[in-house]
Structure 1
Amino acid sequence: MEETEEQLRTMCDLCDEDLKVIGNNSAHKRHIELLSVRALLKAVGINQTIHYNDSKPYLDNGYISISHSADIAAIIYNPEHPVGIDIEKISPKIQHIASRVFSDKELAAAKGDLEKLTVIWNCKECVVKLTNDDSINFREMINVDMPSGFSFQDNIIINCTLKKSEHTTVFSLSAMKIEGNTVAWGRGK
């Protein structure tokens, strides 16, 4: 997101709802995030208004997920299935929360590697977005199965298991590294 707010405004078509969201939020960073997402949608030919329910984006037709890091905006859209995406800047801050949100098995698989820790976080966030369920306990309910020999040089598929009550769901997520960030994404059924 290197563009200025003025540049981004020329790259997208803002509806009344967008203008209302911008008007209700004085944070410049939030304006840039919103405008960058609208520009991405226009660039890929999606001309729908994004609505929000409890800060979660939705469209009248199809499914969308949005994520931002310090300098990148990411979207994923599917006309038929729920989707989730999460992008995070690779940073030592992940180490401060890792023991609270990652299982012992996940911590052992990551071996303290910042890229691996960050992509585990991406996957867990992605599962929450796919299920639209904020009550999920990251550590107890989502298991991220890091592939052996994990490397961002390959096309990575990571299986994540969500165990909630008696129900178990497995998600196969894609992941990659881009410009000092990790990103994971996938779709539901």
Structure 2
Amino acid sequence: MPVKQIKQINDNTYLGRWALTETSLELQVHPQLPVPLVLPEIITHEKRKAEWLASRILAYQLLQKFTSDFYLLVNNENGQPFFKNCACQLSISHTQNEVAVLVSQGYSVGIDIERIQPKVLRVKDKFLSLTERQTLNDDIVNLTIAWSAKETLYKLYGKKNITFSENLRLFPYYLADSGTIEAFIQTSAFHEKYTVLFKLENDTVLTYCLHKPA
């Protein structure tokens, strides 16, 4: 994969990925950064600083596909990033020196990127229903896809008080290098079906979802 990759998903959506080689100091003076950014004090590790800055640079780069105007990128009360006073929706994810961003006009969006690692076995009971555990067994690729898909759904839903094993459900899917997963989000006051797209690349899983608001 190139260091930076931008892909048009449809007429209203762009996906960007960035395999980081830059330091946070280099990113703070990056030519595609529209305004100086102040790193949140809570972010202290160099890797996280670089990922945070790169995700913002990439988000602004994708926003330019829709408008030349500048919109401030902030977080809402649930910690979800959004462009203030802008119609475009976005979602951000990062894992071990790689960043993924999805920006759309007209769709609600969620995106997640995960490394395929055995540690997913330790947490599978926390995010899978009994039926899902029986279907996926202990295959770490399938488990990582499922974990990533549910992270994508959680970001798209955009609200807290969600239990991954109960409120986010995945239907059985065919394992391949890329594909789709039918899923639904269900709470006491909400029920909606979604299609999550996934892609395997080396030791990484990327998932994302676009949903047209009713």
**TM-score when normalising by structure 2:** 0.78
Secondary structure of the corresponding residue to residue 181 of structure 2: strand
Secondary structure at the aligned position of 2:92 is classed as: strand
- In structure 1, stretches of 5+ residues that fail to align are none
Native 8 Å contact 2:27 2:54 kept in 1: yes
**How far apart are the structure 1 equivalents of 2:183 and 2:192?**
8
Who is 2:72 aligned against?
A: 49
Q: Kindly report which structure 2 residues correspond to 1:75-86, keeping only aligned pairs within 5 A, or say none.
A: 75-86=101-112
Q: Residue in 1 aligned with 2:82?
A: 58
Partner of 2:169: 143
Could you tell me the TM-score, scaled by structure 1's length?
0.87
Task: Give the 3-state SS of the residue equivalent to 2:199 in structure 1.
Answer: strand
Aligned pairs (5 A) from 1:1-189:
1-9=20-28, 10-16=30-36, 18-19=37-38, 21-22=39-40, 25-44=43-62, 46=64, 47-54=70-77, 55-60=79-84, 61=86, 62-147=88-173, 149-152=174-177, 155-165=178-188, 167-189=190-212
Give the AA of the match of 1:172: T
Q: Aligned equivalents of 1:124 and 1:175: distance in 2?
A: 11
Give the unaligned 5+ runs of structure 2.
1-19, 65-69
Residue range with higher mean Cα deviation, 47-56 or 83-92: 47-56
SS in 1 for 2:49: helix
Sort the Cα spacing of 1:41 and 1:107 in 2 relative to 1 into closer, same or farther, 3 A: same
- Cα distance in 2 for residues equivalent to 1:122 and 1:25: 23
RMSD: 2.0
| Higher relative strand content | 2
The aligned amino acid for 2:201 is: I
Deviation digits for residues 75-110 of structure 1 (CA, Å, limit 9, x no counterpart): 001122221001111111111010122012211222
Q: Percent identity?
A: 22
How many residue pairs are counted as aligned between the two chains? 184
- The whole-number CA distance in structure 2 between the counterparts of 1:138 and 1:43 is 32
Q: Distance in 1 between matches of 2:145 and 2:35?
A: 34
Cα deviations by residue, 1:86-144 (Å, 9 ceiling, x for unpaired): 11111111110101220122112222111110110111111111111121111111111
